[in-house]
């Protein structure tokens, strides 16, 4: 679900932005500093985490502890880094109304809103409150012992992985949906993912790519020794259960690769929709399909079309994907006519 920014309606007090930064790279630190300086000049308060403050050295910034109160009263949590930094920021914004806005300085960066070259445009949108907020489905995880008591729990934006604790042994699991047993098999693990996480760990394990505005839960077995171990897509209101027999391998739960829980002998893991979504701020109106094309370099021209400038030149990301425009080999400066028609297309 997408909603307009509420910052422009006067519902908030003084505006504040919390920065979360991958401080291990000098170029990222410099970009965060210049961005903070611009926000401060625009009258927007800047908060930084106390463990990052010494590296950032931003004059006028408010230093806050790195805990659940860090994003309190912040309008936006602005992330400078890759998806790992974004997931860390999601932990800080989890129980607030702050929206996450990422600047991709990693490799793929599916969660980020913008690339470094468009930071000025993004900062202008923040200053002018010209952004929308998407609400992404998150999942809640309960670890239950053999007596039916919940012994621990956590949440995830991307996925949780039920993994074997001993690498040398297979993990036996029983899968149930809404309390009804479905199948059992031996495997390396089972992933329960959100649509947002469908392009992360679940994607690597052979799961489907799900558009983020689709509300659903995904179950993706990892290296299952079974004839029926297909990825499953269930209702967002379903409860997915992964039970581990008492005489099997030890298991643990990893949430977004950041939080780990042990599963007791004979216990089970229950995954359901979380009561609170994760809020992500968007400035650019790019369709998710265009993001897939840009991030993976997907060839969108017809595979029989000979007009091709070589690997890596199948698509200009600034052009309309659906027109399949390519550059002619004979004249790189001349845009070829549309595959489906005879007229040229000027994409503004």
What pLDDT band is residue 300 in, cutting at 50, 70 and 90? Answer: confident
| Proportion of the chain above pLDDT 70, given as a percent | 82
pLDDT at position 347 over 60: no
| Proportion of the chain above pLDDT 90, given as a percent | 67
Question: What pLDDT was estimated at residue 302?
Answer: 65
Q: pTM for the complete prediction?
A: 0.81
Averaged pLDDT for residues 80-98: 93
What pLDDT band is residue 256 in, cutting at 50, 70 and 90? Answer: very high
Averaged pLDDT for residues 88-106: 91
Q: Give a three-class secondary structure readout of the chain.
A: CEEECCHHHCCCCCCEEEEEECCCCHHHHHHHHHHHHHHHHCCCEEEEECCCHHHHCCCCCEEECCCCCCCCCCCEEEEEECHHHHHHHHHHHCCCCCEEEEEECCCCCCCCCECHHHHHHHHHHHHCCCCEEEEECCEEEEEECCCCCEEEEEEECCEEEEEECCCCCCEEEEEEECCEEEEEEEECEEEEECCHHHHCHHHHCCCCCCCCCCCCEEEEEECCECCCCCCEEECCCCCEEEECCCCCCCEEEEECCCEEEEECCCCEEEEEECCCCEEEEECCCCCHHHHHHHHHCCCCCCCCCCCCCCCCCCCCCCCCHHHCCCECCCCCCCECCCCCCCCCCCCC
Active-site hit among 51, 67, 83, 256: 83
User: 83 an active-site residue?
Assistant: yes
């Amino acid at each position: 679900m997408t909603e307009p920014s509420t910052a422009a309606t006067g519902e908030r007090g003084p505006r504040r932005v919390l920065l979360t930064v991958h401080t291990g790279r000098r170029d990222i630190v410099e970009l965060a500093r210049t961005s903070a300086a611009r926000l401060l000049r625009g009258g927007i308060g800047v908060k930084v985490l106390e463990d990052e403050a010494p590296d950032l050295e931003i004059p006028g910034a408010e230093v806050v502890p790195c805990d659940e109160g860090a994003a309190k009263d912040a309008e936006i949590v602005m992330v400078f880094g890759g998806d790992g930094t974004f997931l860390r920021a999601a932990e800080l914004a989890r129980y607030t109304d702050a929206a996450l806005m990422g600047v991709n300085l990693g490799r793929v960066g599916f969660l980020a809103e913008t690339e470094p070259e468009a930071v000025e445009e993004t900062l202008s949108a923040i200053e002018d409150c010209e952004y929308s907020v998407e609400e992404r489905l998150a999942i809640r995880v309960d670890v239950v012992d053999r007596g039916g008591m919940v012994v621990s729990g956590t949440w995830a934006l991307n996925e949780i992985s039920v993994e074997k604790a001993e690498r040398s042994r297979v993990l036996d699991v029983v899968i149930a949906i809404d309390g009804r047993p479905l199948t059992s098999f031996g495997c390396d693990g089972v992933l329960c993912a959100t649509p947002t996480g469908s392009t992360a760990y679940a994607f690597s394990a052979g799961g489907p790519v799900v558009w983020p505005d689709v509300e659903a839960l995904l179950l993706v077995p990892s290296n299952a020794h079974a004839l029926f171990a297909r990825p499953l897509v269930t209702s967002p209101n379903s409860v997915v259960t992964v039970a581990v027999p008492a005489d099997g391998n030890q298991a643990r739960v990893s949430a977004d690769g950041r939080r780990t829980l042990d599963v007791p002998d004979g216990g089970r893991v229950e995954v359901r929709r979380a009561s609170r979504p994760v809020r992500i701020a968007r400035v650019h109106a790019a369709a998710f399909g265009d993001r897939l094309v840009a991030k993976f370099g997907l060839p969108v021209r017809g595979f029989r079309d000979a007009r091709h400038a070589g690997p890596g030149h199948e698509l200009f990301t600034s052009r309309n994907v659906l027109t399949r425009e390519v550059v002619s080999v004979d004249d790189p400066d001349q845009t070829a006519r549309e595959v489906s028609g005879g007229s040229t297309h000027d994409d503004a």
